[in-house]
Amino acid sequence: MRTRISPWMPLLCCLCQLSAEIGEIPEGYTPIFNGKDLSGWHISRSNHHGTTLDARVEKGVLIIGQNPIGEGGILLTDKRYKDFELYLEVMPDWGCDGGVFLRSSEDGNAYQLAIDYVPDGLMGALIMEGLPKDGPGGAGAGRSDAWKELWKKDDWNSFRVRMTGLAPHIIIWLNDVEIVDFTDDRNRAIGGAEDGMIALQRHFTSASSWRGVPGGVHRFRNIAIKELN
Amino acid sequence: MPITRILLWLSVLPCLLAAQPKTYTNSIGMEFVLAPAGSFVMGKFAPACAEAGTRDFVTESHYQECVKLAREAALPGFKAEVPRPFYVGKFEVTQQQYRQVMGKNPSYHTEDKVGEPSSDYPVDSISWQDAQAFIRRMNALEKTNAYRLPTEVEWEYAAGAGTDARPQTGAQTREVAWYRLNSGYVTHPVGQKTPNAWGLYDMLGNVWEWVQDWYDYQVVPSGPSGPVSGKVHVLKGGGFQCYQRMARVPAHAGGPGTTVSLGFRVVREAR
């Protein structure tokens, strides 16, 4: 069989390459970060990681870091979500702890996808951030090495999170491979909240808590959501 | 000085002293403690760095860079004056007191949630405007204008019992505050933890407390009086669900906060 090479092939390859570089929001998701500014987001002024987070947008990328040194924080969506699938791409600096909070309170009590990019960190784990830790679900879905095989170093990596149900069922995919399937025994949200905000976190640091190299940041892009309720 | 003037002074002196007893209980049973005039240092900021080797990838150059940035970011603080004595609420305003004054109780932490009558629990789910409405009605009830929210200076002065902020251990926080590690993620009746040196309860933890000031979006207060306008107000002390970093006297937070953890205490001007 003769293979015919399209004259458009070089252009298509070029477009494919471009697409790989800027990433792509999967079909059916609605962007919640416009790539230009922080419209639709706000910094928590009552979160213990910090109240003066450095959150900025550069070349289509949402960057969060400490401001001043030691003071991290969380950047919350203005909107609250109940059942959803969240898609985002992340490129953290090595040695920095951060995460994505799910159904978060304004103070940052939330189910958390840890993006804890440090040796022996909790990368890709589902943990309880300022939520009760008792009962069968209290430990979340903790430390696993599953991410190490899938992680693309010095490159963008995608997370997809599906969160449904009042006692939440949470599935996490890293670069399209499922790494967490967790079902809680109850709803742990503060005040019994049935919905909450999505938050991007940069951990605080102190003399006794090394959670980031000076100047280190977490970068996010292509943040999008599909509401399921 | 003529003898008549001395006699006049002596005759009114007991009245002046009697006007400022150490404690005061108002018409609805709210208890207050007299805070003396004084001053303290607030607004200090001193980030601290983990030394090289704290984690195996933490190098000496990381540490040195952190120390440099910490030095640049450090703030010496400023002297905050409290020129006159004032009465500060011994407890956070309770659900019973709020209901008595406002005829309703907006709290989340009622009997069905906490498993016992919640009258003595702090009122929660309170906005800054709700707190002001309570104060207006309290003033009207007693035909006075002496009740108000504390300023942030007054709040820190009272919470620290007139001293400058000191480092606070986890054990100390457990002793004085209902917070994330001992609250069970609900509020508790006021006055159960150890009070501070002035006999004030729950200054840290239980519910966040609104103060009068607008929030300035700074890591620590930028001066003794807050900005003249703003979008949200300052929150102090942290709530039952907060980490210790917020349940500290100098922690400087702002609204909107987490609704079910928001309350207040009132001060009364001493005349």
ipTM for the predicted complex comes to: 0.92
**CATH architecture of the region B19-269:** Alpha-Beta Complex (3.90)
- Please name the member of A52, A132, A210 whose beta carbon is closest to the beta carbon of B58: A210
- A-side interface with B, Cβ within 8 Å? 45-46, 48-52, 68-71, 94-95, 105-107, 109, 118-119, 130-132, 190-192, 204-210, 213-215
Q: Quick one: pLDDT at residue B57?
A: 76
Count of other CB atoms within 10 angstroms of residue A57: 18
Is B57 in contact with A208 (Cβ distance < 8 A)?
A: no
Tell me how far apart the alpha carbons of residues A104 and A86 are, in angstroms, rounded to a whole number: 14
Say how many C-beta atoms besides its own lie within 10 A of residue A148's C-beta. 9
For residue B120, count CB atoms less than 10 angstroms from its CB and return exposed for 0-12, middle for 13-18, buried for 19 or more. Answer: middle
Report whether B131 contacts B264 (CB < 8 A): yes
**Average of per-residue pLDDT across B13-41:** 85
Query: What pLDDT, on a 0 to 100 scale, did the predictor assign at position B122?
Result: 99
**Integer angstrom CA distances of residue A211 from A73, A94, A214, B126, B243:** 13, 10, 10, 35, 16
> Which residue in A95, A131, A214 is closest to B69 by CB distance?
A214
pLDDT in tens, A163-197: 999 999 999 999 999 999 999 999 999 999 999 99
CA A123 to chain centre: 11
Taking every pair of Cα atoms in chain B, the longest distance, rounded to a whole number of angstroms, is: 81
Contacts 24+ apart (CB under 8 A), A63-66: A63/A217, A63/A218, A63/A219, A63/A220, A64/A98, A64/A200, A64/A201, A64/A202, A64/A217, A64/A218, A64/A220, A65/A202, A65/A215, A65/A216, A65/A217, A65/A218, A66/A202, A66/A204, A66/A205, A66/A212
CB pair distance less than 8 Å for B257 and A107: yes
Of the two residues B14 and A178, the one the predictor is more confident about is: A178
- Per the CB < 8 A criterion, the answer to whether A88 and A64 are in contact is no
Tell me the mean pLDDT in the region B82-105.
Answer: 98
pLDDT, position A24: 84
How far does B225 lie from chain A, in Å, by closest CA?
19
Is the pLDDT at A36 greater than 50? The verdict is yes
B66, B113, B168, B232, best to mutate vs chain A, most A CBs in 10 Å: B66
Inspect the interface and report whether the beta carbons of A206 and B70 lie closer than 8 Å: no
Asked if A31 and A25 count as a contact pair (C-beta separation under 8 A), the reply is yes
> Within 10 A of B167 (CB to CB), how many other CB atoms are there?
7
CB-CB under 8 Å, A70 with B70: yes
pLDDT tens per residue across span B142-171: 999 999 999 999 999 999 999 987 889 999
A71–B219 CB contact, under 8 Å: yes
Does the distance separating the beta carbons of B256 and A107 come in below 8 Å? no
pLDDT at A204 over 90: yes
In the predicted model, is pLDDT for residue A75 greater than 50? Answer: yes
Enumerate the domain spans of chain B: 19-269
Higher model confidence: residue A223 or residue A3? A223
For residue B242, pLDDT beyond 60: yes
How is the beta sheet containing B267-269 ordered, strand by strand? B23-25, B31-35, B86-89, B267-269, B147-148
> Which residue, among B75, B209, B258, would best test binding to A if mutated, counting the most A CBs under 10 Å from its CB?
B258
Checking if the pLDDT of A14 tops 60, the result is no
